Amino acid sequence: MSAMMQPPQSRPLEPADLPLAPAYARLGAPFHQPVAATPLPEPRMVHFNAALASELGVDSECGLEFVEILAGSQPWPGYASSASVYAGHQFGHWVPQLGDGRALLIAEVRTPAGQRIELQLKGAGPTPYSRGLDGRAVLRSSIREYLGSEAMHALGVPTTRCLSLVASSQPVVRETVENAAVVCRTAASFVRFGQFEYFAGQGRTGPMARLADHVISEHFPHLQGRPDRYAAWLGEVVERTARLIAQWQLLGFCHGVMNTDNFSVLGLTLDYGPFGFMDRFRQYHVCNHSDYEGRYAYSAQPEIGRWNCERLLQAVSPLLADGPEQAAEIGKDILQRYAPAYHQSVMRGWADKLGLRELREADGKLVNEFLGLLQRSRGDFTRGFRLLARIRTSSDAPAKGVREEFADIQSFDAWAADYRARLRSEQNTDDEARARRMNRINPKYVLRNHLAQIAIDKAQLGDYSEVATLAELLRRPYDEQPEKESYATEPPDYMRNIEVSCSS
């Protein structure tokens, strides 16, 4: 083969190889301000998400230029980074101006599949909305967001995702002195409820309409041109939000900071701060020790989702009709779509977790009785549902390997009898097929707080191996993975009460 016919040498793909697709950037002021990232000194890659990189069209062996961009040391070629302004209700209290205090939009790209994706650096330094703070993220919280968002994605929950996690020895003061880190997170859009609230609070309908038209054009194109496009769009936002929170409930996931500025208009799980998957089931579990009143407890999440949608509808009401009374009526009608969307999603989800093909009116009682058993027995939420796949309708013998999880075995046996009867009432009952279905619905592995903490402790000593182990494990949450059996067990007693707060 001649030199002219030699294949080109392969090289890592650089950012310039990804086609830019600016849309949000074109909105300009007053929606966002240009801000350059503050370089992270002595950056080192903790983990790079090769699977997500492939979806974006990036080689898993990212080049040096890309690493520098992910650390905030270089801008994305041809794109000016920016920080968005928004407002929000934080723990129920109105705050008229917030904004991206430590996040920067660094690029909008077109993937090989044709999807437009936005990339943000979180922890890349101060912005005009940092309120005098350093704009940095710490390694501890960055590991939790990196692993948490990818775990949720693998569980099938709409969410932002993380491409990379870069750490530094730069000290950052929180409750203690910690090390700085930057995550690059991605989403189709980072527009949130609070952006509409910001302009509503200032009485600026024009910018609010421009932002709504941008969201509809980019993400709800089937609604463009309709005279009722704003109402139709908001109806979809309300229903997406309801379905999202139903998924959270079905997984025992607690967000921790369900402020309106942390709610996505695309129905994505956004802003992983103090979040957590429940170990022992508690109806009133609060994952954020900064939430002193339990506003965002597990049981409160569905109603808070509705409350947040109501705040969004109030903010955009000038777009719904010329008169306030008519706009309020339209908004009220839209909000009424939340409850049935949530109920349908959550009840279908509970039925699936129990392996029920049909959904019947009395199934809610069966679910609530099982949750009551878990709570009284201080049973593990994830393990409890996973183990139900072992129950057989072909026998009335005690469900060994399941009943032992419950302190009140007699009550469990009584419930199991009702459960078997309900399963047998469906035609063509096949225990093995049902078990396979249930194991595709009930995960074996979730990001338990103690698992994240072990990875954090090692990473703070310079050992990133456990971050990699968890990243790989959580990509397949429904698979048995026998070599990782210990990752599916409850935490040891000394790690049961790990606290996460708003600095997490």
Question: Residue 361 falls within a domain, yes or no?
Answer: yes
Are 208 and 319 a contacting pair, CB within 8 Å?
Answer: yes
Catalytic residue among 213, 228, 261, 413: 261
Regarding beta strands 93-95 and 44-48, do their DSSP bridges make them parallel or antiparallel, or are they unpaired? unpaired
Q: Assess if residue 110 is contained within a domain.
A: yes
Q: Tell which wins on pLDDT, 498 or 381.
A: 381
CA distance 124 to 166: 11
One domain, residues 40 and 137: yes
The verdict on residue 323 lying in a domain is yes
Q: Which amino acids are annotated as binding site, given as ranges?
A: 99, 101-102, 122, 134-135, 185, 192, 262, 271
pLDDT surpasses 60 at 224: yes
Q: What is the pLDDT of residue 315?
A: 98
Looking at the fold, whether 32 and 149 belong to one and the same domain comes out as yes
Is 242 a residue whose pLDDT tops 50?
yes
The number of residues making up the chain comes to 504
Task: State whether 181 and 76 are in the same domain.
Answer: yes
Whole-number average pLDDT of the chain: 93
Contact by Cβ (8 Å): 207, 31: yes
More confident residue, 454 or 3: 454
In a domain, 34, yes or no: yes
Chain centre to alpha carbon of residue 390: 30
Answer whether residue 497 is part of any domain: no
Residue 173 lies in a domain: yes
CA distance 425 to 339: 29
- Say how far apart CA 30 and CA 204 lie, in whole Å: 11
Asked if residue 141 has pLDDT above 80, the reply is yes
In a domain? residue 486 = no
**Predicted local confidence at residue 17, as pLDDT:** 73
* Distance separating alpha carbons of residues 110 and 129, to the nearest angstrom: 28
User: Residue 328's domain spans which residues?
Assistant: 194-209+223-346
**DSSP code for 493:** G
Residues making up the binding site for Mg(2+): 262, 271
11 pLDDT more than 90? no
| 161 within a domain of the structure (yes/no) | yes
Identity of the residue numbered 362: A
Instruction: State in Å, rounded, how far the first CA of the chain is from the last one.
Output: 58
Residues 176 and 42 reside in one and the same domain: yes
Task: Report the pLDDT value the prediction gives residue 8, as an integer from 0 to 100.
Answer: 36
State the pLDDT confidence band at 13, using cuts at 50, 70 and 90: low
Residues 204, 136 share a domain: no
Structure tokens at 29: 């002021």
Least confident of 51-55, 154-158, 206-210, 380-384: 51-55
Which of 386, 416, 439 delimits the end of a domain?
A: 439
Ranking 58-62, 65-69, 101-105, 259-263 by mean pLDDT, the lowest is 58-62
Instruction: Report the distance separating Cα 357 and Cα 351, nearest Å.
Output: 7
Contact predicate 468/47, CB 8 Å: yes
Same-domain check for residues 176 and 253: no
Cβ atoms of 500 and 276 within 8 Å: the answer is yes
Q: How many domains does the chain have?
A: 3
Tell me, yes or no, if 463 is annotated catalytic: no
- Tell me: do 87 and 128 sit in the same domain: yes
- Of 385, 405, 439, which residue is a domain's last? 439
Return the number of other C-beta atoms located less than 10 Å from residue 53's C-beta: 18
pLDDT at 503: 61
Is a pLDDT exceeding 70 seen at residue 128?
yes
Name the binding residues for ATP. Answer: 99, 101-102, 122, 134-135, 185, 192, 271
Stretch 420-442: mean pLDDT, rounded? 93
Q: List C-alpha distances in Å: 426 to 175, 346, 385.
A: 55, 21, 20
Give CA–CA dist 315/299, Å, rounded. 26
